Amino acid sequence: MQDPERQNEIAKEALKKFLVGEIEQSYRQDGSVQFIFKGRWEMRSFPNAVAYLYENTGKGKNIDPYVSADGTAWIIFSNILSQMNFKNNALDVLKLYIDSCYELQTKHNQRIHKGAPFFWISEHYYNLGQFNLAKQFMIYAFIEDTLSPLDPFAAPAYTKIKTQFPVPDNYLKELVSYVKANYTGSKIPFYAEEIIVSFDISKIKVVEKISRRD
């Protein structure tokens, strides 16, 4: 688990690089942090804010996705931007976070569990009205949960899929069975995208076989 206080501080510094103004930090009833700009403020530099997050991200660094990809300054910063109505910037932050995770996987030849960033990318796409992309990324989050010790049907991604998207339970159950049967140990790919493509192709092949028999 990431240190919440440390992640909040990094997110706050990133926010200062994005916007100029007096920042007040407070906490909601659920324990999540919120930053409020008091008085006048103006935009400074989105690239500098992202560069700051990149500098702090890596194995053994302040933001270490190998410890946990959830609760990081990237996610905190993104959600703050969304609350301030910088919705496209909020989405871009998370997409860059995923890119950073991919780079680390390649560098260390070690997989990162990316359920949380996929979950939040989906949420931001949903809030922007891009429902097909929102569904796609929530299924990626569901696959990540399937690859973890978690029960994927008890995880947040499954709940969101069932409440927001018309995905049949049979499809999800078949997906879980396919993942459990084909991806264990060193066979687990770095990318959830590969798994869903492989699964969908396998379903097409089954349909083709049935058609030939008929």
Provide the greatest CA pair distance for the chain: 72
Q: What is the mean pLDDT of the chain?
A: 89
Helix (H, G, I), strand (E, B) or coil at 21: strand
Percentage of the chain beyond pLDDT 70 is: 92
Contact 133, 165 (CB under 8 A): no
Phi then psi dihedrals of residue 58, to 5 deg: 160, 170
Q: Which pTM value belongs to this model? A: 0.89
Return the higher-pLDDT residue of 205 and 52: 52
Helix H or strand E encompassing 115: helix 115-127
Contact 68, 117 (CB under 8 A): no
170 pLDDT above the threshold of 90 = yes
Percentage of the chain beyond pLDDT 90 is: 73
Task: Give the residue among 135, 174, 162, 15 at the shortest CA–CA distance from 83.
Answer: 15
Q: Mean of the pLDDT values across residues 4-30?
A: 85
Contact 157, 119 (CB under 8 A): yes
- Residues in Cβ contact with 12 at an 8 Å cutoff, skipping those fewer than 6 apart: 23, 25, 35
Task: Give the residue among 78, 151, 80, 61 at the shortest CA–CA distance from 118.
Answer: 78
Tokens 């990324």 correspond to 137
Helix (H, G, I), strand (E, B) or coil at 57: strand
- Residues in Cβ contact with 58 at an 8 Å cutoff, skipping those fewer than 6 apart: 64, 104
